[in-house]
Structure 1
Amino acid sequence: MLKQFLQFKLSQKLSPQQIQLMKLIQLPTQAFEQRLKQEMEDNPALEGGKETSDEFEDNFEEFDNSEDDYNDNETIEAEDINVDEYLSDDDVPDYRTRANNYSADDEEKNVPYAAGTSFTQHLNSQLNTFRLSDEEREIAEFLVGSVDESGYIRRSLSDIMDDLAFTQNVFTSEEKIEKVLNKVHQLDPSGVGARNLQECLSIQLHRKEKNPDVELAIELIDKAFDPFSKKHYQKLIQKFDITEQQLKDAIDEIEHLNPKPGGSYAGNNRIVEHVIPDFAITIVDGELELTLNGRNAPELHVSREYSNMMKGYKEAKDKSKSQKDAVQFIKQKLDAAKWFIEAIKQRQQTLFVTMSSIMHYQKAYFLSGDERKLRPMILKDIADEIEMDVSTVSRVANSKYVDTPYGTKLIKEFFSESMTNDQGEEVSTREIKKILETVVEKENKRKPLTDEKLAKILKEKGYPIARRTIAKYREQLDIPVARLRKKI
């Protein structure tokens, strides 16, 4: 059965302008510059630089969109005003001046990206130094194509054999693939094409100049990789009947190997992403001073030419339908330009107010650079202080960098949860992690501290933390368990 009833509901909706403002706030400096450039290309009513006159008036706000203006039955005379007449005669198109003012020898301002050679191309070019049959070459090229960025082939030979049959129409055996794979293992960088870490280290050791330390290292990797990886050093000393110093020298050889042979090459061809700080904090006469990167505060103004076109239209008595459509388009562009300029100003203000609040909240840290002086701070703390939404603070913190006397930092790094110490004071978890990191650095590496012992030490320092919390912080700091921190 259908029913009709009234329901009152309070809802909040964001306007398109508000949504776009949030997107602008989220953009870091480089992305913001690209967005600004795109907007200026799309909207001819938006111009960069300072306005030449302070007497600029918005002549289009009183534009009348009444139905009378759009009456198709209106009589239009041949002498009606043409919008093109409002364009300045002095405005010469760029293409007319380029031939006379620009030489073919002029420096190209756009910096091109280097194409470089891919890791796969680098490996394929080395295959030309081997004598291979047509079938072996197809297998070798397929194996090289299966090498990932780290330099490993992380697939079984049976899978590779099936793929060769289905995709390359090459029917072969695992034995022949293994034979060709051994040739791929001879390519540079050493260790490329390995199927696991053990094989990668073994390939590199076999290609080194032989000496007692290298030979012992080969035995450790080839015959006792599991106890070696678990750092069961006493078992290894007994198994190979060696001294502790001999084991230490062999381990030193292994530690100088590259566990990711592909990374050394693949990383060189990647385009380097430069971090541009959005803010800068300096210490002047013992006080903090915050500045916003000037690239975030461009000078923009509405085109006077487009405004004059609107003014001329308003003064005209008779208007054609085509002129009305053109002027409606002009008004939309002028409105968009005004809104964008206002949005840029709001963005600047929001960024500065948010970062200023964070700077004063963490004043002790910014004056000293000591991470142990970071106060517990969550997004809501700053949002409440500047009376903005938590999502706005999050957008600023997650994508912006600040240049400090202690290096360039991501703003979200200053946020941390709180914890109560034994004196009832609220301390930052960042402070506890820093202390934990310091304790691990100073431990005896022959007998690393377990999580239980670390928890006991921190408790003695005034931080009552459970063992499982120590384990969580340790993982966040990329500190391995005690057994894997052991050294001889």
Structure 2
Amino acid sequence: MLKQQLQFKLSQKLSPQQIQLMKLIQLPTQAFEHRLKQELEENPALESGKEESSEYENEGLDDVSHDDYDNETINAEDINVDEYLSDDEIPEYRLQANNYSSDDDEKTVPYAAGTSFHQYLLNQLNTFRLNDEEREIAEFLVGSVDESGYIRREISDIVDDLAFTQNVFTSEEEVEKVLLRVQQLDPAGVCARNLQECLLIQLERKTPTPSVDLAIDILEKSFEQFTKKHYTRLIQKFDITEDELRNAIHEIERLNPKPGGSYSGNNRIIEHVVPDFTIRIVDGELELSLNGRNAPELHVSREYNNMLKGYKDTKKKSKSQKDAVQFIKQKLDAAKWFIEAIKQRQETLYVTMNCIMHHQEEYFLTGDERKLRPMILKDIADTIGMDVSTVSRVANSKYVDTPYGTKLIKEFFSESMKNEEGEDVSTREIKKILETVINEEDKRKPLTDDKLAAILKEKGYPIARRTVAKYREQLNISVARLRKEI
């Protein structure tokens, strides 16, 4: 049975302008510059630089309505809005030609031509004497190398793929034989199937010495004991002294576990961080400044404003002029809103970072991470009277240049814990102390998580062993057994 029902409910929706403002706030400096350039290209009523005359006002905009239409026509010489629009509809960059003469300076930016890692390996194959089948297998093996320089596939799978994709029917023994040839490529250790094989390939290329020979024996016969740092068992098994073992381990530590990563021509993109804020200490006081690239000088086109005023002063208005002026009004409104949005973005960024700076004043004055106070997004949001999501947008993607280096703002946020005196301390402070204790430990007898928890308790931070383990993992520090040295 169908029923009709009337229901009232309150709902809150963000306007398109509010959504765009939130997106602007979230953008870091470089992305903001790109967005600004895009807006300048798309909106001819928006101009950069200082304005020579008075700023654009909204006067007369509301007077444009559908009631202004009439059937009367006017002469072209009275007002022709098309004349105003003819030059501005085509962006300036489209009017520029690239017809530079031969004696002009080079206008293009040169790009470095690089060779990919796989191409680098293939080029080396040209120096090998291989028959047609061996070359196809070798090229297939090189194509199976990952970015780290390893072939992480079973030989049987490679044999099957050669048959199905390359129409090359071969055996595992033949592939193994070609693989040994391919493993002679540079950098040393490339085309290995696992870490053990990678390290052995590199050691076998070294000049034979007692330390190198011992290192090869250890990796071939006791790789698992070596990785687990069972040094006492290794000394007993190979009947060697601690110094001999130490020298062999030193040879292994000098090897490259990822030979592919050492290739300089892999054309990886290098990211450059542009700080959005700068904090300086001037006469013992903190001074905050916003990157000038976040505060561009923009104004509404004077020519477009004059076009609208000219239309307002005209007594007789045609429909075509009305349509053109509606377009002008739309562009002027968009330009005015964009300018206001940028000002609001600047204010939001500055107010948020200023609050963070004063909340963490002790840290910014000393640079000691143990001085970081507990701080969550809600603390800042409540202080500046903004929403938590707004603070999150500022913190997640912005960087600040401090006297102690460029930092991601979200790194200053941390949870709090109680110390023995009942005071709130930052978990960052506890992690820093934990890291210091581990760095100062005797590496011959590293501290277990239980002992670390006991030391922290003595220092006034009563935390459980499992919490110590969690913080240690967050700091990328291994367990005690793997930190052991001889």
Classify the TM-score, shorter chain: over 0.9
Distance in 1 separating the partners of 2:91 and 2:265? 48
Q: Does the C-alpha gap of structure 1 residues 55 and 376 become closer, same or farther in structure 2, counting only changes over 3 Å? A: closer
Note if contact 2:115-2:266 (Cα within 8 Å) is conserved in structure 1: no
2:218 counterpart of 1:220: yes
**Paired residue for 1:283?**
281
Q: Does the C-alpha gap of structure 1 residues 350 and 99 become closer, same or farther in structure 2, counting only changes over 3 Å? A: closer
Distance in 2 separating the partners of 1:94 and 1:469? 59
Q: Which amino acid aligns with 1:388?
A: M
Note if contact 2:446-2:481 (Cα within 8 Å) is conserved in structure 1: yes
Give the alignment partner of residue 310 of structure 2, picking from 290, 312, 317.
312
**Paired residue for 1:336?**
334
Q: Does the C-alpha gap of structure 1 residues 56 and 43 become closer, same or farther in structure 2, counting only changes over 3 Å? A: closer
Give the alignment partner of residue 242 of structure 1, picking from 240, 243, 247.
240
1:136 offset after TM fit, Å?
A: 1.8
Note if contact 2:44-2:331 (Cα within 8 Å) is conserved in structure 1: yes
CA RMSD of the aligned region, Å?
2.3
**Paired residue for 1:127?**
125
**Paired residue for 1:261?**
259
Note if contact 1:58-1:307 (Cα within 8 Å) is conserved in structure 2: no
**Paired residue for 2:41?**
41
2:31 counterpart of 1:31: yes
Which segments of 5 or more consecutive residues in structure 2 lack a partner in the other structure? none
2:155 counterpart of 1:140: no
1:56 offset after TM fit, Å?
A: 4.4
Q: Which amino acid aligns with 2:262?
A: S
Note if contact 1:277-1:293 (Cα within 8 Å) is conserved in structure 2: yes
For the residue of structure 2 that corresponds to 1:269, the secondary structure is coil
Q: Which amino acid aligns with 2:280?
A: T
After superposition, the C-alpha distances for 1:270-297 in whole angstroms (9 at most, x for unaligned) are: 2321111100001111110000000000
After superposition, the C-alpha distances for 1:371-430 in whole angstroms (9 at most, x for unaligned) are: 001000001000100111111111111110101111111001100000001110100000
Q: Does the C-alpha gap of structure 1 residues 174 and 2 become closer, same or farther in structure 2, counting only changes over 3 Å? A: same
1:109 offset after TM fit, Å?
A: 5.7
2:448 counterpart of 1:445: no
Alignment of 1:316-395 (within 5 A): 316-395=314-393
Percent identity for Structure 1 against Structure 2: 77
Give the alignment partner of residue 429 of structure 1, picking from 408, 421, 427.
427
Note if contact 1:436-1:458 (Cα within 8 Å) is conserved in structure 2: yes
Q: Which amino acid aligns with 2:9?
A: K
Note if contact 1:149-1:266 (Cα within 8 Å) is conserved in structure 2: no
Q: What is the number of residues matched between the two proteins? A: 484
Q: Which amino acid aligns with 2:314?
A: A
Task: Say which is worse superposed, 109-118 or 408-417, in terms of deviation.
Answer: 109-118
Give the alignment partner of residue 159 of structure 1, picking from 151, 157, 160.
157
**Paired residue for 1:474?**
472
Distance in 1 separating the partners of 2:62 and 2:166? 70
Alignment of 1:94-113 (within 5 A): 103-108=101-106, 111-113=109-111
Q: Does the C-alpha gap of structure 1 residues 93 and 212 become closer, same or farther in structure 2, counting only changes over 3 Å? A: closer
Give the alignment partner of residue 204 of structure 1, picking from 202, 222, 225.
202
Distance in 2 separating the partners of 1:418 and 1:487? 34
Distance in 1 separating the partners of 2:389 and 2:470? 27
For the residue of structure 2 that corresponds to 1:178, the secondary structure is helix
Q: Does the C-alpha gap of structure 1 residues 143 and 59 become closer, same or farther in structure 2, counting only changes over 3 Å? A: farther
Distance in 2 separating the partners of 1:345 and 1:215? 68
Q: Does the C-alpha gap of structure 1 residues 415 and 271 become closer, same or farther in structure 2, counting only changes over 3 Å? A: same
Distance in 1 separating the partners of 2:417 and 2:270? 39
1:229 offset after TM fit, Å?
A: 0.4
Note if contact 2:374-2:416 (Cα within 8 Å) is conserved in structure 1: yes
Q: Does the C-alpha gap of structure 1 residues 96 and 277 become closer, same or farther in structure 2, counting only changes over 3 Å? A: closer
Task: Say which is worse superposed, 169-178 or 290-299, in terms of deviation.
Answer: 169-178
Give the alignment partner of residue 114 of structure 1, picking from 104, 112, 115.
112
Note if contact 2:198-2:257 (Cα within 8 Å) is conserved in structure 1: yes
2:403 counterpart of 1:405: yes
Which segments of 5 or more consecutive residues in structure 1 lack a partner in the other structure? none
Q: Which amino acid aligns with 1:165?
A: A
**Paired residue for 2:458?**
460
Q: Does the C-alpha gap of structure 1 residues 391 and 107 become closer, same or farther in structure 2, counting only changes over 3 Å? A: farther
Task: Say which is worse superposed, 59-68 or 457-466, in terms of deviation.
Answer: 59-68
Note if contact 1:60-1:307 (Cα within 8 Å) is conserved in structure 2: no
TM-score, length basis structure 2: 0.94
Distance in 1 separating the partners of 2:447 and 2:382? 42
After superposition, the C-alpha distances for 1:249-290 in whole angstroms (9 at most, x for unaligned) are: 000000000001111116762232111110000111111000
